[in-house]
Structure formats: structure tokens, C-alpha cells
Amino acid sequence: MENERNVGVLLNRHAHLFDQLTRFTDIRKNPHIRLQDILMCVLSMPFFSITSLLGLDCSARSSSFKRLFRCTRKMVVSDSTISRVLLWLDAQQVQNFQRAFLPFFEHQRLSKRELEPGGKPRHLGIIDGSCMGSHYLSMLDLCGKTDYPVMLLPYDKQGKELPTSQLLVQQAKAALGCQFPDLLLLDSEYFTTNFFDTVAAAGSQLLIKSKEPFRDAHYDAQLLFKAKDKFPGDIIEAHGFDIERCCDWSIQITTGEFAGYCLQVAHLVEDYPKRKRERHVECWIVTTDMSLHPAEIREAAHLRWHVENHVFKRLSKQSGTKRFHFKDPKRFYNLLRLVCAAVALLDMLMAILQRAEGQFKRIRDGIKVTWNTIFSRLAESVGEGFLLGG
């Protein structure tokens, strides 16, 4: 019983999950199913790896699922009911819910990340675009000790990612305040004067990673690195072995300028002896943060892919977001924002449980440690009705 009690306390008393759900406005006059129960069913999708509303409909009929909601009806909720609710939910309330767990994120010391052991803890953010279910969006992921996809903005067609991301930065600064990232990690598409200006106006720094050198800053640095014997004082060099990724690495760094901003310009080379493909990898990095050390620049460049691997792919794997084909964008974005909040909350829950080594060991004993199996074991340990907040 200790497992389920602790999980329930974390979600309800500390994260205030149920309190947040009660803030949604229910426009129905005589509802037979509480709106909180309907929303909790949607939030449970990544927990139980339910990848479609039809799959949720089937699960909602099972006895174990009904016990969680103390439901005596034939099912907790149908897919058609969820679809109707997603249409009339207030979009602003859903956006508020998506970032409602930021105080919990901060309180649990999960919002900041060190880029090297003993380094300065930083608020890191990643902005990237994606296409999900025929809908385009730009997303901001807070890359702390866990990932929090905290805000997203839609755009209607390809080619609109950059101006949408600029607007996202401005809105995120206003909404997040002191939790806005100190450093934004971006890809080469964002190497524009307007985006540099937008990030600077938000009081932040940026780091951009690209496979090939481009722009004058890169070309000048490339020429300097080739002639480094003649200009040794203008180049910083560092190297090491990454035990986690099992690779040798070396980096060369110089300074440059773009659109009036001072830059660190770096060329990173990595060798992976155990790989069969892509054993030798090179990339170019620029950053406006002149305080970053060589190892921090390298780690930040690797973290740039967190939004792809730890957010977009997980949303697709755990909740099937790539296959949601709502023609109505309001339904889709309401659903996606709810799922983003659920994934963020589950990541926080897992990180907190791992701090209690004995309890986490009991959860994962005898299983192959994957998201699916850990969530299944967590589901087994959850007591009846704890999701309902009493």
C-alpha cells in the first residue's frame, strides 16, 4: 500500500493534479460523467501506452480501469464523448493546464541542468517544429533533469516555423517569467538576425548546431582552424572520452561575430569505435553565451536532440500523436496539450521515484526497464480511486 499512497500524494497533494482539473469550465447542463474523469482518461493515455481514442474507449470498459475511477457504469467514457469534449474545451484553459506543473517542476529541483559535472545549473530550452497528424506546430521544451514540453504554437503550412517560433519565444517569456530558459538550443534554420534579436530581447542566450559550416562566422573559423599553427592564441582546444556515449571527442573554439552579437564558434569531432555506421561525426556550433566551457558547448549540442528523441518520439510512441487525424485543429491541439502535460508529469514522477531507490527497485524488479513496462508496473501498484482526489 505504500507505493500507491506515495504516488497518490505526489500527484494530488504536491502536483495538485486534481485541483488543476477542477479549474476547467464544463459547459454541459446535466453531465452524467464528471469532466475531471474525462480529462483524467485522456491524461492516462501515455501512462498506459494507449495510442488512439478507440484504444482508450476499449480500455475504459475494462474492470481494472473502471476501478480506478470507481465507475459502476458500463464504461468510464467513450471515444465519441472525448471527441465532443475536446471540441468545446476552452483553449486558454488547456494552455494554462499544460504549464500548470511548473511550480512542482521547480520545487522538485528538476528544472535546471548542469552541462558538465559541477557546472552552473541552467534553465535550458529547446525550440523545434514538427508535423503531427497533418498539423504543424512549433514547441518549446524545458530541458531540465526531465523534459517538460511546456508550450506550443500552431502554424498552417511549411515555411512558417521560424516566425511562429519567434512569436513562441515572446509569449513564453511573458508566460514563464523567471523560468524562461537561460539558453535556447536550436538547429541551423534559426541562424537569422531576427531570431537572434528576438532571443536577446527575451534576455536569453542561444546555441545553434549544424552539420555543415555556413555563414561567414563558420567560414572564418574553418579557415582559422586549418591554419591554427600560425594563430595558436586565437583557438581553444579540448578533448576527452565520453563514457556514457562511448566516444572520443575533440573540439576547437574561436570567437566570431554575427549581426552585432559576439559568438563562440566551435568545430566538434567525435569518433564512435563500436558503431557500424557513422563512426566519425563532425558538427559546427555557435553560441552567444561566451561563458560556456568546451565540455558544456558539446553537451548542449547533444541535448539539442532531446526534443526529437525525448518529446516528439515519446508523444508518438506513448500516445500515437503522429496518427491523430482530427480535421478540426482545435480538437487536435487540445488533445496534444493535455498529453504533453501528462508526459511531463510522468517524467517528474519517475525522477522522484528513482530518488527513493528501495521503492523504485520494488517497482522495476523482474522487468526489462522500458517506459511501457515501468508504467505497467506502476499501474499495478496504484490503489483504487487514487486518481479521483477523494
- Asked if residue 315 is part of any domain, the answer here is no
Say yes or no: 42 and 131 in one domain: no
C-alpha–C-alpha distance, residues 338 and 36, integer Å = 12
Q: Compute the residue count for the chain.
A: 390
Read off the C-alpha cell for 179.
523560468
User: Is 231 in the same domain as 279?
Assistant: yes
In a domain, 332, yes or no: yes
Question: Within a domain: residue 316?
Answer: no
Residues 286 and 347 in one domain: no
Residue 133: count of CB within 10 angstroms of its CB: 17
Are residues 253 and 339 located together in one domain of the fold?
Answer: no
- 304 and 185 fall within a common domain: yes
Point out the domain boundary residue: 256, 284, 309: 309
Domain presence at residue 252 = yes
User: Which residues pair with residue 251 across a beta bridge?
Assistant: 238, 268
Tell me, yes or no, whether 367 lies in a domain: yes
Do 86 and 224 sit in the same domain of this protein?
no
Once rounded to an integer, what is the mean pLDDT over residues 129-156? Answer: 93
How large is the average pLDDT for residues 194-201? 96
CATH number for the domain spanning 230: value is 3.30.2170
Q: Which pLDDT belongs to residue 223?
A: 85
Distance, CA of 145 to CA of 348 (rounded, Å): 9
Query: Model pTM?
Result: 0.87
Rg from Cα positions in the chain: 23
Helix (H) or strand (E) holding 249: strand 247-258
C-alpha cell at 135: 498539423
Q: Which residues, 6+ apart, have CB-to-CB distance to 94 below 8 Å?
A: 333, 334, 337, 338
Residues 330 and 282 in one domain: no
The percentage of residues in the chain with a pLDDT greater than 70, rounded to a whole number, is 87
Cβ atoms of 148 and 142 within 8 Å: the answer is yes
Bin 340: left if φ > 0, else alpha if -120 < ψ < 50, else beta: alpha
Domain stop point among 309, 344, 370: 309
Rounded mean pLDDT, 259-284: 92
User: Is 381:352 a contact under the CB 8 Å cutoff?
Assistant: no
* pLDDT bucket at 365, cuts 50 / 70 / 90: low
Q: How far apart are CA 36 and CA 31, in angstroms?
A: 11
Q: Is residue 320 part of a domain?
A: no
Residue 370 is predicted with a pLDDT of 56
259 and 118 within one domain: yes
Q: Domain boundary residue among 255, 283, 309? A: 309
Q: What is the β-pairing status of strands 183-187 and 147-155? A: unpaired
> In terms of domains, do 140 and 267 share one?
yes
Residue 366, classed as helix, strand or coil, is coil
The answer to the question of residue 65 being in a domain is yes
- State the residue for C-alpha cell 500523436: 321
In terms of DSSP bridges, do strands 205-210 and 183-187 run parallel, antiparallel, or are they unpaired? parallel
pLDDT averaged over every residue in the chain:
86
The DSSP element (H or E) to which 153 belongs, if any, is: strand 147-155
Nearest-angstrom CA–CA distance, 19 and 157: 37
Q: What is the pLDDT of residues 83-128, one digit of tens each?
A: 999 999 999 999 999 999 999 999 999 999 999 999 999 999 999 9
Domain residues for 78?
A: 2-106+326-388
CA dihedral 216, 217, 219, 225 (to 10 degrees): 160
Give residue 357's pLDDT band: very low, low, confident or very high (50, 70, 90): low
Contact of 216 with 263, CB cutoff 8 Å:
no
Grid cell locating 297: 558547448
Is 101 found in the same domain as 231?
A: no
Amino acid present at 50: I
Q: Tell whether 262 and 343 lie within a shared domain.
A: no
- Residue 210: count of CB within 10 angstroms of its CB: 18
DSSP symbols for 180-243: S-SEEEEEGGG-SHHHHHHHHHTT-EEEEEESS--HHHHHHHHHHHHTTTT-GGG-EEEEEEET
Which has the higher per-residue pLDDT, 244 or 97? 97
In this predicted structure, the answer to whether residue 310 has a pLDDT above a threshold of 50 is: yes
Alpha-carbon distance 43 to 275, whole Å? 38
Q: Give domain status of residue 69, yes or no.
A: yes
Range with the poorest average pLDDT among 245-254, 288-297, 343-352 = 343-352
Q: Are residues 252 and 363 in the same domain?
A: no
**Strand residues in 243-326 grouped as ranges (E):** 247-258, 261-271, 280-287
Domain count, the chain: 2
